[in-house]
Structure 1
Amino acid sequence: MLIQGMLNDAGVWADVLPLLPQHWEVRFAQIQTQDSIAAMARDAWAQLSDLSADTSVMVAGFSLGGYVAIEMLANPQRTLSAAALMSTSPLPETDEGRHVREKTMAAMQANFPKVVEGIVKFGCHEATEAVQERVRQMILAVGCETGLRQTRAIMGRSDHRHALSRLTLPVALLCGEHDRVTPPALTHELAQCLPHAQIHIVPGSGHMLPVQQAQAVARVLSSLHP
């Protein structure tokens, strides 16, 4: 199961998908309508409820999707074979972070296209104009209301570091070398909760790892799952 980031749709995985093993069945979590990370995780589990107990399942979450994947790992409803957490953080919201997000939400309501430009420039380190335009159009299509709802959900996320420390399944942690949204330091902090996790700091990428370095993402995912 692939779980996209904030203001993303399944298209964020478009370059990764053809590089994954052909025998995989890939499902995309639906996280655009819920009001909390916990609700997103419950609905993602529900999307897997038809699978038999012996089906091998891996969850991979990017950015906001990483928060959802962490919530799923903390409240498991079935056994997973592996997990990948990309461009994300184990930390709950800080007072400073909450203040920044509240300002961002006000700006989104005032002038969403302007905020989108800032998101694209900040998240796509040294990306080509074509990549930036692709991300821009995806965010605009997902829209302001979804962005507001997802931002509120992120602000209310839980601290699951203790639950993560008890995990024994294979976990890969990925982050772009130039990620300014969730910098590599947060990936290393996440690794402190998951001492057996693989860490992959990917050169040549900002925050938008599945778009900017699809081959690296696909290679790590393929190594985790049969």
Structure 2
Amino acid sequence: MKPVLLLIPGMLNTPDIWTDVLPWLPPDLDVRLAEVASQSGLAQMAQDAWSLLHDLHPDQPLVVCGYSMGAWVAYEMLQQHPGRVYGLVLLGASAQADTPELLQAREKAVAAIARDFDKVVAGLSRYASHPRFHEQDAWMARAREQLRAIGPEAAARQHRLLMRRPDARGFLRGLQMPVQVVCGDADLVTPPDLSRELAALIPGAELCWLPGAGHLSPYEAPEGVASAVQALLLRVRQVHPATAPQAAGMEAR
């Protein structure tokens, strides 16, 4: 049985956010892509993600990679079906609920989305990416298109549901699985200190940095993201030796 890798997008992302990462992943993985644009809450996102996995064998290894808001979907998945996930990648992620300041910022963002979604997308594409990309017109146009594709209604809905999320630090302290925390070293959306906090509070978590990347790391550093996923899969292999035949090809890449 192939290990299954579930990739969960972040806010303002369609599953296309993973397009550049997929070619760098090992060929002996069953990769599945979650969608997070249509649901009204994190619990529904997690339920829909689990529905993509209905055919898994009880012993089939499952690894989940949650990017940004997708990490919160992963937390919900772990609580809905404890013990089913073998390993976790948290990419550009946080464990904290919004502060009062962030709640106000989200309210302003929702209002801005209603006024001029394209303007919001243009600003976010620059804020969320490393400055080295800002003069690459084709790259920036593609980033804007990806962020725009979700549409203003879904973007506003995602902001509002994140405003309701609880602090996850207590839950994460109890995790007993291999965890890889990954962050762009120039991430302004979820700054590196939040990744340091995640790695410190989750038992045995490993932290890796993506040099020269901001928050749009699946676009900015797809090979680095894939390498972090592979590192997590190799750790899962150590904990669950039965996955070794599927993972053996990864060391040769």
TM norm. shorter chain > 0.5: yes
Q: Post-superposition shift, 1:77?
A: 4.9
Higher alpha-carbon Rg: 2
Q: What residue identity is the alignment partner of 2:20?
A: D
Matches of residues 27-38 of structure 1 in structure 2 within 5 Å?
27-38=32-43
The structure, 1 or 2, with the larger RCO (C-alpha pairs under 8 Å, 6+ apart) is 1
- Root mean square deviation, CA, Å: 1.3
Q: Post-superposition shift, 1:34?
A: 0.9
- SS of 1:58's partner is strand
Q: Post-superposition shift, 1:162?
A: 1.5
Number of the residue aligned with 1:202: 210
Q: Which moved more, 1:34-43 or 1:84-93?
A: 34-43
Does the Cα contact within 8 Å between 1:16 and 1:215 map onto a contact in 2?
Answer: yes
Matches of residues 128-207 of structure 1 in structure 2 within 5 Å?
128-207=136-215
Is there any run of 5+ residues in structure 1 with no aligned partner, and where? none
Q: Does 1:222 align with 2:227?
A: no
**Following superposition, which runs of at least 4 residues in structure 1 exceed 2 angstroms of deviation?**
73-78, 128-131
Does the Cα contact within 8 Å between 1:164 and 1:193 map onto a contact in 2?
Answer: yes
Does the Cα contact within 8 Å between 1:73 and 1:164 map onto a contact in 2?
Answer: no
Q: State the aligned residue count.
A: 226
Q: Which moved more, 1:115-124 or 1:126-135?
A: 126-135
Q: Post-superposition shift, 1:93?
A: 1.4
Q: How far apart in 2 are the matches of 1:202 and 1:195?
A: 22
- SS of 2:36's partner is coil
Q: Post-superposition shift, 1:46?
A: 2.1
Does the Cα contact within 8 Å between 1:53 and 1:78 map onto a contact in 2?
Answer: no
Q: Post-superposition shift, 1:31?
A: 1.0
Q: Does 1:75 align with 2:75?
A: no
Match of 1:57 among 52, 59, 62: 62
Q: How far apart in 1 are the matches of 2:232 and 2:199?
A: 17
What percent identity do the matched residue pairs reach?
Answer: 39
- SS of 2:60's partner is coil
Q: Post-superposition shift, 1:131?
A: 2.2
- SS of 2:149's partner is helix
Q: Post-superposition shift, 1:189?
A: 1.2
Is there any run of 5+ residues in structure 2 with no aligned partner, and where? 1-5, 234-246, 248-253
Q: What residue identity is the alignment partner of 2:127?
A: F
